[in-house]
A and B are shown apart, each in its own frame.
Chain A
Amino acid sequence: MKYCNVTIDGVKINVPDDMMILDAAKQAGIIVPTLCHLKGISATGACRVCIVETGGGKVQTACSFPVAEGMMVKTNTPKIREMRKTILEMIIANHNAECTTCVRSQSCELQSLAMIYGIEDSHFKKKFNQEPVDMSSATIVRDQSKCILCGRCVSVCNGVQNIGALGFIGRSIDMHVGLAYEHQLSESTCINCGQCIVNCPVGALKERDYLSEVQLALDDPTFTVVVQTAPAVRAALGEVFGLPMGTPVTGKMVASLKRLGFDYVFDTDFAADVCIMEEGTELLNRIRAGAHLPMITSCSPGWVKYAETFYPELLPHMSSCKSPQNMMGALLKSHFAEIKGIDPAKMIVVSVMPCTAKKFEVERQELEVDGIRDVDFSITTRELGRLIKKAGIDFKYLNDEKFDDFYGDSTGSAVIFGATGGVMEAALRTVADIINGNDLKEIEYTVVRGIQGVKEAKVQVTPDFTAKIAVAHGGKNMHYVMDKLAKGELSDYHFIELMACPGGCVNGGGQPIVDAKAKMHIDLRVERAKALYHEDSNILHYRKSHHNPSVMKLYETYLDAPNSHKAHHLLHTSYQRRD
């Protein structure tokens, strides 16, 4: 790699010659403002707020223009300041700035730039998109009046997720982000992953909010309201309250849920352990029968809709297991309700998920058990943050509390479900023990950890059985794996884990918003996963799902055995073509 000498605002630096001015400026201690830029994902040069002077009065966009030997960059001249201000004023004129009521107030990148540049009021005449808000989807709400046409959602939906649901339609002042044939979101190929939301700089995309429904349930004494929280939530909820990324806040989260008035607070991790029992058994059965291999995980509802939409012919490869969210719901409304003597019709199950697709999942009819929904409302980590704030709970100063002990402990296997490779690792821990008939000490399958897009490995389970496995996360990588499977190139594989969001659930579409500037320097997929692996190796007593005494008890007293008739009735499902 060649290096070159560049001067940025008088600071001399030596940087690789393929580096963009934006990154070089950062090295010189200068933050150039951006809106459309997303590190590694989008450098379309559409918003133009990152303009800088590159010598001879030439103006270039720092995000897309590389440095060169001897370049003299000026990022803060009167000309640049004036032009950036004009650009920002024009963007604001095209933006429905409902800042006081907008869900993205204080996490809005446009609002933050407007404050930095001292824009008091846009001189330009307000003219923004008047299209009605698209409320068609159970998961994502699109408000085009707030869209600033930066294209980040389009880049993520196409480039990262490989879905191509969102795209630009029309040109000039009629250009807008939309679905093919101007359809509504619910009629599109959208897999509900919500990556568009967490990458939107403004409030044009947000989750479908179910907080008023949840609040109504909490306020109604005739209902028993039960809440469950997914593993990845505890790894990120702290960010909403200003705690450093990767701070595990399990105890404070439980404490606040109890204060909010939930009658019971459970950990979805328990169901994740059950899921491993069911899925592991299913896998062993398939290996013995030699049928429908490789088996593919089914806990990511974004992935499930992806499979139904793009690879319906390969649906037999899907595990029939419901996701932990729905297994938990099904158990709460059957097993738990029976023992506690609660009428399932009078029980409301709320789930807190790092995910927007879970909202779609809870509405799937095929998941219902005897006409009863497993989960009534699924809310995101962000929504829980708002609920806690609204209740005036001083989150940071809460003492840790514990999940209700009805379902007892959960395991390290369950908590790592939240990171890519986690389900695979948890399954390997259990399957290897079952096949070998003993308690293996080597349980950290680091080969499936980390954020590499596609991880493939051969794991020697017994002297004569080597499992071939693959793990992929994010739409593009899922596509890569599924394409190979469709071509018959993975027929000797046994098990594949696929997660719709890059990095797995820790980076789910329901997680707290992290702005593009911060994402330039930290990889939140890595930082948040650290909190989960920390719980696995340092905090939780049991690290294998089949060691969970409550899970064992559940099978002994209620479900009989994994994949039993009853387990199938409650915990398994089917899929439908959506092509």
Chain B
Amino acid sequence: MKFITANFDQYDGKDIQAYIGLDGFSGLKKAIEMGPLATIEEVKESGLQGRGGAEYPTGRKIEQARIEKAERKFVICNADEGEPGTFKDRELIKKDIYQLIEGMIIVAYCANANEGVIYCREEYDWMHEHICTSILKCKEMGYLGINILDTGFSFEISLFSGAGSYVCGEGFAMCESMEGKSGRPRSKPPYVKQEGYLNYPTLVINVETLSAITAIMKFGTSNFTDLGTPDCPGTKVISISGKVNKPGVYEVPFGKTLEEIIALAEGVKGDKRIGFVQIGGASGGILPESALKTQFTYRELKSKQVSVGSGAIVVADEDDNILDYLENVGQFFIHESCGKCVPCREGNRQLEILLGKFKHKTATIDDVKMYKDILDMMSEASLCGSGRTEPVPFKTAFTYFEDAFALGGSHEIL
């Protein structure tokens, strides 16, 4: 299935003429022809939701950005792909960056923003030159700069490199980082869309979402909504990793089962069975093998306490220990929490201690209560979205793998 990734391997990802030869910038031209309001309606019609993990309806997001009035307005492409097990944005940048830039121009045109930034994760430094060169080529061809395609609309894009912090994928932390401060989220309200980067209205939007907008404008909304299911139209670019034979990036229509998607990666290494999968990134839910018939849609996953998130699927085999895995996830959060709010900073620190007790079978009833209290408190009282979603793997693992959380002393199961 190729919709967002239609251009993959059709050109070298660098030659702008080749991109144009593949009907490149026709989406932008169509948007200009339709005008901003109709284009926003088109995006709404497509049912596109934020592909970075927040799942916010994209059309509405652009509409809200358009309403904001200010001297300056920013569109930031979130290319801070730091979610473990997620590498689809890397492929979208590497193999079809012009589609991404085109998406930024369309969005900026609709939102009436004149300044754009690609916030790229530090670890992708080997792509920084590629990004800059591509921006310059777009400018040379008149797709960026002053009075784009005679519309009177002007838009510039620059590149900003993160410094390696996971939390900077959060809108406000990203703004702080770009302002030269430590990447820590601000309190809301005001929201990023109102007072973001340099306190100006800022639209932060993921690489895949932007790429999808270009594809939708180019191929038409109905061709997008024909894919997927009626309540969850379109496709998703998925990163499959872990104990599979062919880890990689696969575009799939919504509605496939998890099993079908994992099959694209040619099964589990060493002919083992699947032990469990984590979906959507480090803060995504963990499902047992028995749940693999679940359809990959926003609604079906939600019914299992899981979300699409970034679209990462990490596969563990039957020999992998769920508590070892959780410990690893926990250590990631301890390393990456910004430290600002108590629930996330102290919650993760205490969770690690409790996981150690579960692992060594020394946990008491009191420990189980603390485990649950911490998770509830983190998911409701953390300052930012990151802190609020970090409990998901711990909660889902507790739901689906209760044997692992047996109390110490006896083998009593809760």
Let me know if B91 is at the binding interface, CB within 8 A. Answer: no
How far, in Å, is A241 (CB) from chain B's closest CB?
A: 35
Given contacts A83-B376, A123-B370, contact A46 B346 (CB under 8 A): no
CA distance A86 to B376 in the complex (A): 10
Given contacts A65-B189, A125-B350, A127-B349, contact A87 B381 (CB under 8 A): yes
How far, in Å, is A519 (CB) from chain B's closest CB?
A: 20
Please indicate which of the listed interface residues A44, A86, A168 has the most CB atoms of chain B within 10 Å of its own CB: A86
Residue interface mask B352-379, A partner, CB < 8 A = 1: 0100000000000010001001101100
Is A82 in contact with B373, judged by CB distance below 8 angstroms?
Answer: yes
CA distance A44 to B349 in the complex (A): 21
CA distance A59 to B383 in the complex (A): 10
Given contacts A51-B381, A172-B334, contact A46 B350 (CB under 8 A): no
Is B187 in contact with A44, judged by CB distance below 8 angstroms?
Answer: yes
Is B343 in contact with A48, judged by CB distance below 8 angstroms?
Answer: yes
Is A172 in contact with B339, judged by CB distance below 8 angstroms?
Answer: yes
Give the interface size bracket for B toward A. Answer: 35 or more
Given contacts A171-B182, A172-B334, contact A46 B340 (CB under 8 A): yes
Let me know if A43 is at the binding interface, CB within 8 A. Answer: yes
Let me know if B347 is at the binding interface, CB within 8 A. Answer: yes
How far, in Å, is A20 (CB) from chain B's closest CB?
A: 10
Let me know if B301 is at the binding interface, CB within 8 A. Answer: no
Cross-interface CB contact of B334 among A46, A49, A87, A173, cutoff 8 Å: A173
CA distance A49 to B343 in the complex (A): 10
Residues A25-62 near B (CB distance < 8 A): 43-49, 51, 59, 61
In the bound complex, residues from chain A placing their C-beta under 8 Å from that of B377 are 83, 86-87
Where chain A touches its partner, the secondary structure class is loop
Q: What residue of chain A has the Cβ atom nearest to residue B166's Cβ?
A: A171
Residues B262-307 near A (CB distance < 8 A): none
Given contacts A44-B187, A48-B381, A87-B377, contact A172 B337 (CB under 8 A): yes
CA distance A91 to B337 in the complex (A): 16
In the bound complex, residues from chain A placing their C-beta under 8 Å from that of B381 are 48, 51, 59, 83, 87
How far, in Å, is B322 (CB) from chain A's closest CB?
A: 23
Is A175 in contact with B341, judged by CB distance below 8 angstroms?
Answer: no
CA distance A175 to B165 in the complex (A): 14
Given contacts A44-B187, A87-B377, contact A172 B345 (CB under 8 A): yes
Residue interface mask A117-150, B partner, CB < 8 A = 1: 0000001110100000000000000000000010
Residue interface mask B316-357, A partner, CB < 8 A = 1: 000000000000000001111111111101111110010000
Is A171 in contact with B339, judged by CB distance below 8 angstroms?
Answer: yes
Is B366 in contact with A123, judged by CB distance below 8 angstroms?
Answer: yes
Cross-interface CB contact of B345 among A43, A49, A125, A173, cutoff 8 Å: A173
Let me know if B402 is at the binding interface, CB within 8 A. Answer: no
Number of interface residues of A (CB under 8 A): 35
Q: What residue of chain B has the Cβ atom nearest to residue A167's Cβ?
A: B182
Is B335 in contact with A48, judged by CB distance below 8 angstroms?
Answer: no
Residues B363-409 near A (CB distance < 8 A): 366, 370, 373-374, 376-377, 380-383
CA distance A174 to B334 in the complex (A): 9
CA distance A192 to B68 in the complex (A): 44
Cross-interface CB contact of A46 among B337, B353, B380, B383, cutoff 8 Å: B383
Please indicate which of the listed interface residues B184, B338, B377 has the most CB atoms of chain A within 10 Å of its own CB: B377
In the bound complex, residues from chain B placing their C-beta under 8 Å from that of A175 are 338-340, 345
How far, in Å, is A215 (CB) from chain B's closest CB?
A: 40
In the bound complex, residues from chain B placing their C-beta under 8 Å from that of A48 are 341-343, 381-383
Cross-interface CB contact of A93 among B333, B334, B350, B373, cutoff 8 Å: B350
Q: What residue of chain B has the Cβ atom nearest to residue A88's Cβ?
A: B342
Is A43 in contact with B187, judged by CB distance below 8 angstroms?
Answer: yes
Given contacts A125-B350, A125-B353, contact A87 B342 (CB under 8 A): yes
Cβ contacts A to B, 23 pairs, < 8 Å: A46-B342, A48-B343, A48-B382, A66-B189, A82-B376, A83-B376, A86-B377, A87-B342, A87-B377, A90-B342, A90-B350, A124-B346, A149-B342, A151-B340, A168-B184, A168-B339, A170-B339, A171-B167, A171-B182, A172-B336, A172-B338, A172-B348, A175-B338
* In the complex, the 8 A-B pairs of residues with the closest C-beta atoms, listed nearest first: A175-B339, A45-B187, A90-B346, A172-B337, A64-B187, A59-B380, A86-B377, A172-B339
**Chain A interface residues (CB < 8 Å from chain B):** 43-49, 51, 59, 61, 64-66, 79, 82-83, 86-87, 90-91, 93-94, 123-125, 127, 149, 151, 168, 170-175
